Structure 1
């Protein structure tokens, strides 16, 4: 074998290995893919950007507003001559120009609204984190449902191979007369049941994988043949109920409460005085119509001559508005009290949920030893029964029954181990929003 052939074979082996790696999906890979593809999370990201764009700082709120206005009008009939301030019977054309600027020097509402805008941004981020946490929990459950079915399918496939071997063996023994025909019927029935059960599990596994990839918003149907990896974690969730919980739902509830307090401040600011500075510039042009003996000054000359400036300080003190602000403040206080109770409610629900999951964990751990013991008994029973069956001391129906017991015990051990993994990861997500 020359060097070129060796290199080609190595390349093909590496490509096959890489392809196999691409078709392997761990829980972490599923989480990362799902968080990138989920449309709901993308919507939340856009909502955060929209909230950031709509934020106005205190400086921005205090910047002056500048308006430029122009007006052209006609006055027909008896009117006041702007030049003499006397009533005359004539027609006039007038052009007026105004430049106004106003800024609030002291405005408590601007400070309150600027602080509220900052909280709105943090609240939008917290809402995204809550959505991600709920999505992770949903994906975790879907992943382990697929994992349960995958591992069961593996066990059943191995047992189906053994059943096919035994069926072939019994068929040959019946043909030579060492076993009765009834044993062959029993083995054929047992093999058919296992074959159907295996097909049902494979079909269920396909459905579970489809649900998992649909949840990740992965539409490539070729990935339905992907292998879901079993992931083991060294660190297990603790059962310390006094440990602080960092679930984003609590953070969101606290931000909603903080936002409600700022709403009270905003409403109260409407009862406080506002000090403003005002500057105005104006000028006008006029001329009489249908009076040939009257000559008006040129347009720009009049604008230059008629210009005026106005500078003023304006203090606005709210006195009475029909108790509308008072009612709004009272309503905001009630909303704040409600938000405060929501914090306690959220903490209580999370605490109860974590307590239930910890109890599930204790139950699975306590049950694990008994399941391992049952599996060892089932394995020993299968070994002795198979030996008796091969020597013709037991019937095929009894052998099939014992074998099914072993399959069931083996899967119960496997599922209990996976449930322990699942509940550990779920507790970590509920406590810390991470695996």
Structure 2
């Protein structure tokens, strides 16, 4: 009897222990498989991430560092070149030794040390033009960084606008579905008690199905636009991100005032880093052209040289090798040379380089013209978008009030059986269209204004 009781207790303990282990494993599994929280991305977050990750922006910054190094080198070119030389040789056999001016046979050691300096006194202002060109190239690259940042900001703003508009359109669609669902249930109840019309039930079911399909399309569009935004930010798309809504209610009225296009264009042109970069690049090409022209001008250089040497063949009166230190001290040579180098013929290389640099100068000037045209076209497009959004907002706001009142009136009449389904549906469609136009205009005003401020240097 006691043995049976003990067996039952042991069996019960095993079952409890197994159950506890299973519960613990389930808890661990639940903890491991818990989905990661979504990362909320505000507009400022998106801009900051894009500025950090953009590959073209990183390349532009690297190019600016290269231009800075080239500019530093152009300054150093004004300094003389100083070079040192030294050697030690061990000879065995018969050879001519320049230290003693005769042939020597056997093993001997020798060494030679020298220091020379070469300074260009005149080369047709080549170094001066090179310094001007590299300085302007550095200025161009610094402005290119700002221009690329400008492009990144505008891209993020445009993509962010598309995402928030998709979300607002989804809200409107969901509200429409909710309203149609309520009306469908109402018609079903009316039909069930014998006072409704089955045709109305089918009409609402059809409209509800159409709106559900439209909602799916809007949700797909949101996923596409959100993917585009994440690709612009160059972040991992496999992680869940949520784009935060943009609070704009207090800003709409403040940006409804229209600014003069001429003033906006003038500010944009004055600030435009891309235009400044193209201008600096054109000036750099001009100095590069002048620099290549100096390759046909004679060069005047001043060359200084100091050398000393040692040989084991040099001996004193006692036929002992003169110590190396004494030889280095006595066998010195100092020289100073003024050298004139005249380019006569070098396979047309100088003439070809001059022709190429002249064409580069003309291309840089054309790039400047293109940059001016690009700035004007961009500002025109963004300014027109802003003006259109402002005009649309004013009209949509008034239209929304009128159509909302009209819909409420038609809805009441429909619910009391005083109007038909198609009149009700047309009024609902007009109301939803007005809602979409108003929301799109609101967001377009804010974001087009921000994009315009980017090009004016105000953001």
Report the CA distance shift for 1:296/1:267 in structure 2 as closer, same or farther (over 3 A): farther
Q: Who is 1:229 aligned against?
A: 246
Q: Who is 2:158 aligned against?
A: 141
Q: Secondary structure at the match of 2:303?
A: strand
TM-score scaled by length of structure 2:
0.78
1:230 and 1:206 map into 2 onto residues whose CA distance is 21
Using the TM superposition, give the Cα deviation of residue 391 of structure 1 relative to its aligned residue in structure 2, in angstroms. 0.9
Report the CA distance shift for 1:404/1:222 in structure 2 as closer, same or farther (over 3 A): farther
Give unmatched runs, 5+ long, in structure 1: 1-18, 289-293
Contact 1:248 1:433 in 2 (8 A): no
2:352 and 2:445 map into 1 onto residues whose CA distance is 54
Q: Secondary structure at the match of 1:255?
A: helix
Contact 2:285 2:357 in 1 (8 A): yes
TM-score scaled by length of structure 1:
0.82
Q: Who is 1:5 aligned against?
A: none
Q: 1:303-322 CA deviation, whole Å, 9 max, x = no partner?
A: 33662122213233424235
Using the TM superposition, give the Cα deviation of residue 221 of structure 1 relative to its aligned residue in structure 2, in angstroms. 5.2
1:81 and 1:227 map into 2 onto residues whose CA distance is 86
Using the TM superposition, give the Cα deviation of residue 82 of structure 1 relative to its aligned residue in structure 2, in angstroms. 4.9
1:324 and 1:214 map into 2 onto residues whose CA distance is 47
Q: Does 1:282 align with 2:308?
A: yes
Using the TM superposition, give the Cα deviation of residue 350 of structure 1 relative to its aligned residue in structure 2, in angstroms. 2.0
Q: Who is 1:8 aligned against?
A: none
Q: Who is 2:379 aligned against?
A: 354
Q: Does 1:194 align with 2:211?
A: yes
From 217, 237, 243, give the equivalent of 2:266.
243
Q: Does 1:339 align with 2:361?
A: no
Q: Give the 5 Å matches for 1:24-423.
A: 25-26=42-43, 28-54=44-70, 55-56=72-73, 58-59=75-76, 61-72=78-89, 74=91, 76-77=93-94, 79-80=95-96, 82=98, 85-86=101-102, 90-91=105-106, 93-104=108-119, 106-107=121-122, 108-219=125-236, 223-231=240-248, 232=251, 234-235=254-255, 238-240=260-262, 243-244=266-267, 245=269, 246-270=271-295, 271-287=297-313, 297=321, 300=324, 303-304=327-328, 307-322=331-346, 324-423=349-448
Q: Who is 2:12 aligned against?
A: none
Q: Secondary structure at the match of 2:413?
A: helix
Using the TM superposition, give the Cα deviation of residue 183 of structure 1 relative to its aligned residue in structure 2, in angstroms. 1.6
Q: 1:133-158 CA deviation, whole Å, 9 max, x = no partner?
A: 22222222211111221111121222
Contact 1:210 1:224 in 2 (8 A): no
Give unmatched runs, 5+ long, in structure 2: 1-36
2:320 and 2:182 map into 1 onto residues whose CA distance is 118
Deviates more, 1:116-125 or 1:315-324: 315-324
Using the TM superposition, give the Cα deviation of residue 176 of structure 1 relative to its aligned residue in structure 2, in angstroms. 1.6
1:352 and 1:331 map into 2 onto residues whose CA distance is 31
How many aligned residue pairs are there?
A: 407
